[in-house]
Amino acid sequence: MTFRIELKVRDYECDLQGIVNNGVYFNYLEHARHEFLHANNIDFAKLAAEKINLVVVRSELDFKTSLKPGDVFYVEVEPVRLSKLKFGFSQRVIRKSDEKVAVDALVIGTSVNEKGRPFLPTEIDALFPVE
Amino acid sequence: MTFRIELKVRDYECDLQGIVNNGVYFNYLEHARHEFLHANNIDFAKLAAEKINLVVVRSELDFKTSLKPGDVFYVEVEPVRLSKLKFGFSQRVIRKSDEKVAVDALVIGTSVNEKGRPFLPTEIDALFPVE
Amino acid sequence: MTFRIELKVRDYECDLQGIVNNGVYFNYLEHARHEFLHANNIDFAKLAAEKINLVVVRSELDFKTSLKPGDVFYVEVEPVRLSKLKFGFSQRVIRKSDEKVAVDALVIGTSVNEKGRPFLPTEIDALFPVE
Amino acid sequence: MTFRIELKVRDYECDLQGIVNNGVYFNYLEHARHEFLHANNIDFAKLAAEKINLVVVRSELDFKTSLKPGDVFYVEVEPVRLSKLKFGFSQRVIRKSDEKVAVDALVIGTSVNEKGRPFLPTEIDALFPVE
């Protein structure tokens, strides 16, 4: 099942054109990913203490509709396994009022160990099942 | 020739991990594109008054190295013609001290007229030469 | 009765020190004020169309406790009449878990008409009762 | 002599009203303070390693003129000693084109030791001379 959070546009997130600035969607997507990981008991602090760092290596965003002041919206997160050591998050930002997609995104991450080598800890491995 | 601006990391742009937050690169890239357009006499206000809007439809970012507090860096902008009605910006964020690439990006835009139909005004057309 | 909204710290709002950046409280306070005005049917757009602009002229913030990642908090807004043409918002940011005050603030505003002269429209006048 | 840096408004820093968002001045002021401290060899990392933390306890901002897209401006920093254990920064944001003051500010800080008790390290003490 797709994980999702509900948020509301804040006026300071809008720019000169009167719409949410493109860069802000990046923040929305990150916040939803972190909430998704928390909900799945992935503990950044614990992983970091074990010298394992989660990092974003690539992001692809398609902008389809602009959110405006006052809009309520969902941010969805769906885990996608890309390879033995790479995982992704298929994400969508959806306006609540009419279910229109504002942004369609794929964010690719990996995790590295103390020596900077790719390494997938058990809990991450389990969260992104190989199909 | 590639257009570029020089900037310096500001501490408030860094996050919990002590590095520039991924979303901030989006801001850097946007600022560089706007400076590039200004340098080429593309006037948003004038275009908007003529009911022509420039919009970003897709962005692809590859994160390669993390910028840290105090880092000085360049943001490059190179215009790329993608099709009759689509144009792109090939962009790179490069750390000044060692010329290492922090982010490699492709940002795709289009412009629409009053009726929301794709329409490329003369000055945009000239800036993105068809090869 | 004091108006208040409930929010949650987003990781990207935290800085190098692992706490919410001081400047972000400013965003929280603004968002709460705008929600308060909306709740009281003050319509910026309508006022702006009538050439009446609401502006902040001064802000005083006392930082008492730092919010951290994951913290849930309230932002309070209480209208205060300061003079015939000046109004203020007495605001507090309060951590939900222990009701500790993070920030205590006074934000002072005024409204100006088309000619830039101070002018208080009826709805604003009614919202900030003279004691 | 007053320390100052020169910056330029970035479009994404502007909001719905077409001017720099009030909260962004906070970022400008912080960046200038950090540059000022660096210029005076105050090393946050070193102080933090010695368990001494610099914290902002109060900020007062007077908004006088709004900066707009493309504006070049200075941010000034002047150290002010307030008491034996409290120091302040008298700051101004000034538009370059006409030397008009955009924001007038006083930011008050203190430093605390490992036990959370107020403690002023030698280099900070020297930077804020008692008059």
Tens-digit pLDDT profile for residues D78-119: 999 998 888 999 999 999 999 999 999 999 999 888 887 888
For residues A51 and A97, the answer to whether their CB atoms sit within 8 Å is no
Q: Which two tokens stand for residue D103?
A: 């924001």
D66: which chain A residues are within 8 Å (Cβ-Cβ)? none
pLDDT reading at A58 higher than 70 = yes
A66 touches chain D (CB under 8 A): no
Whether residues C16 and B15 touch (CB distance < 8 A) is answered with yes
Q: Which residue has the tokens 């605390």?
A: D112
Q: Closest Cα partner for B31 from D70, D96, D16, A10?
A: D70
Q: Which residue has the tokens 């306070």?
A: C29
Which residue out of C63, C64, C89, C108 would a mutagenesis test of the D interface target, given it has the greatest number of D Cβ atoms within 10 Å?
Answer: C63
Whether residues A31 and C11 touch (CB distance < 8 A) is answered with yes
CATH assignment at residue B41: 3.10.129.10
Provide the domain limits for residue D116: 3-127
A51 φ/ψ sector (left φ>0, alpha ψ -120 to 50, else beta): left
Q: Which two tokens stand for residue D65?
A: 């003129």
For residues A6 and D96, give the distance between their C-alpha atoms in angstroms, rounded to a whole number.
43
B70 touches chain D (CB under 8 A): yes
C97-116: pLDDT as tens digits: 999 999 999 999 998 888 87
A41 φ/ψ sector (left φ>0, alpha ψ -120 to 50, else beta): left
Which residue out of A15, A22, A86, A103 would a mutagenesis test of the B interface target, given it has the greatest number of B Cβ atoms within 10 Å?
Answer: A22
D35-77: pLDDT as tens digits: 999 999 987 767 777 778 888 999 999 999 999 999 999 999 9
Nearest chain D residue (CA) to C60: D60
DSSP state of B123: H
Distance to chain B for C21, nearest Cα, Å? 7
A11-31: pLDDT as tens digits: 999 988 889 999 999 999 999
Q: How does pLDDT run along chain B (131 residues), one tens digit per residue? A: 799 999 999 999 998 888 999 999 999 999 999 999 999 998 776 777 777 888 899 999 999 999 999 999 999 999 999 988 889 999 999 999 999 999 999 999 998 888 878 888 888 889 988 76
Query: Total domain count for chain A?
Result: 1
How are beta strands B53-63 and B3-8 bridged, if at all? unpaired
Q: Please state the rounded mean pLDDT for residues D12-34.
A: 93
For residues D5 and D37, give the distance between their C-alpha atoms in angstroms, rounded to a whole number.
12
Distance of CA D13 to the CA centre of its chain: 18
DSSP state of B98: T
Q: Closest Cα partner for A18 from A91, A95, A71?
A: A71
Q: Please state the rounded mean pLDDT for residues A85-109.
A: 96
Residues 6+ apart with CB under 8 A from B86: B57, B108, B109, B110
Residues 6+ apart with CB under 8 A from C5: C31, C32, C35, C74, C75
C60 touches chain D (CB under 8 A): yes
ipTM: 0.92
